């Protein structure tokens, strides 16, 4: 995998690097970050050649956008953010994974006006004039409104030239496939469902995207931690991993070690082995983690490693 190769996203004119950086950790995911740390992280990623960055209003309830917009100003990089949640005072889609209080919480809103408002507020927090890609963010319980209201609003933004690509980002593959079938998407962001531990995205969604020219961005390649460092207490999809999953992750690591490949390298590069996958996102919270992601994405991986995992029943 050449992590710095720039490729077109689907049939759009938007380009992304094969490795992208997810900015959620810079919004205080699990532990606090800072403006200065975010600046150093983003600038170092850019210096190394990364040209795709992904953020969302949800990440730190606005903190990630506020922190990562300034170091991206004036840079020729591709940025994606998300719509479907508005940040407002009071209760809403509260999550206990954000370490820094902001006084606002996300509230789901997949109305057309909600999409336009969300995008405008994101640009204000970022201090930028536009984002290249907008993802519908987690519309799991709002499919009808997302299809009938939010998606047409995104298409209108694309037709006006205010964004370059329309996408949807989810932690499940089945509904993403339904969005692809509308014919309105340029791309999808699939989180955690095409990894060394979960290849369910490969059953239907990825072949569908390949047949329709829809770009696929894969995130959550470590399944929130288990594939980065499999140990008791490690998380899978943000909850403690059950013993069977931990045992499987340890077995995968053992095969990787036999072939001289770090588990993190295999976890990052596995999604890119599918021809439908355009870019792989890795969340990083520091310049050192960016360096590690680029290094792991550059490790040569012999084809025999994937064959060995399949032979041992560890890959579909």
Do 46 and 94 form a contact (C-beta atoms < 8 A)?
A: no
Q: Distance of CA 243 to CAs 167, 239, 249, Å?
A: 35, 12, 10
Measured in whole angstroms, how far is the alpha carbon of residue 238 from the centre of its chain?
Answer: 15
d(CA 116, CA 101): 26
CA 254 to chain centre: 27
142 touches 61 (CB < 8 A): no
Q: How are beta strands 85-88 and 105-108 bridged, if at all?
A: antiparallel
Residue 24: strand, helix, or coil: helix
CA angle 6–14–294, rounded 5-degree value: 30
Residue positions counted in the chain: 316
E strands, 149-284, in order: 165-170, 187-191, 215-219, 235-236, 239-240, 277-283
Instruction: Enumerate the β-bridge partners of residue 165.
Output: 133
- Scan for tokens 């950790």, then name that residue: 25
Q: How far apart are the two ends of the chain, measured CA to CA in Å? A: 21
Residue 59 annotated to the active site:
yes
Single out the catalytic residue among 46, 52, 59, 119. Answer: 59
Active site residues: 59
């Amino acid at each position: 995998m050449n992590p710095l190769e720039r490729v077109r996203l689907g049939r759009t004119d938007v380009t992304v690097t094969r490795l992208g950086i997810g900015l959620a950790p810079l919004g205080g995911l699990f532990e606090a970050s800072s403006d200065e740390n975010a600046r150093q992280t983003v600038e170092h990623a850019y210096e190394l050649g990364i040209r795709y960055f992904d953020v969302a209003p949800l990440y730190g309830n606005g903190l990630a956008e506020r922190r990562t917009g300034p170091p991206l100003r004036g840079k020729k990089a591709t940025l994606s953010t998300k719509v479907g949640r508005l940040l407002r005072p009071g209760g809403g889609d509260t999550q206990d994974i954000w370490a820094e209080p902001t006084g606002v919480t996300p509230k789901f809103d997949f109305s057309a006006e909600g999409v336009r408002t969300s995008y405008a507020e994101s640009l204000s927090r970022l201090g930028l004039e536009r984002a290249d890609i907008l993802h519908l963010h987690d519309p799991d319980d709002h499919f009808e409104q997302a299809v009938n209201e939010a998606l047409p609003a995104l298409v209108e933004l694309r037709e006006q030239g205010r964004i370059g690509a329309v996408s949807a980002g989810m932690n499940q593959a089945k509904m993403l496939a339904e969005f692809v079938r509308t014919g309105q998407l340029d791309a999808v962001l699939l989180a955690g469902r095409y990894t060394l531990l979960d290849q369910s995205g490969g059953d239907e969604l990825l072949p569908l995207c390949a047949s329709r020219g829809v770009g696929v961005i894969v995130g959550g390649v470590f399944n929130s931690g288990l594939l980065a460092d499999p140990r008791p207490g490690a998380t899978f999809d943000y909850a403690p991993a059950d013993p069977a999953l931990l045992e499987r992750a340890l077995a995968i690591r053992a095969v990787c070690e036999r072939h001289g490949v770090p588990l993190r390298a295999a976890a990052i590069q596995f999604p890119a082995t599918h021809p439908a996958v355009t870019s792989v996102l890795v969340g990083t919270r520091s310049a050192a983690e960016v360096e590690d992601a680029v290094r792991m994405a550059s490790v040569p991986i012999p084809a025999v490693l994937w064959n060995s995992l399949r032979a041992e029943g560890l890959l579909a």
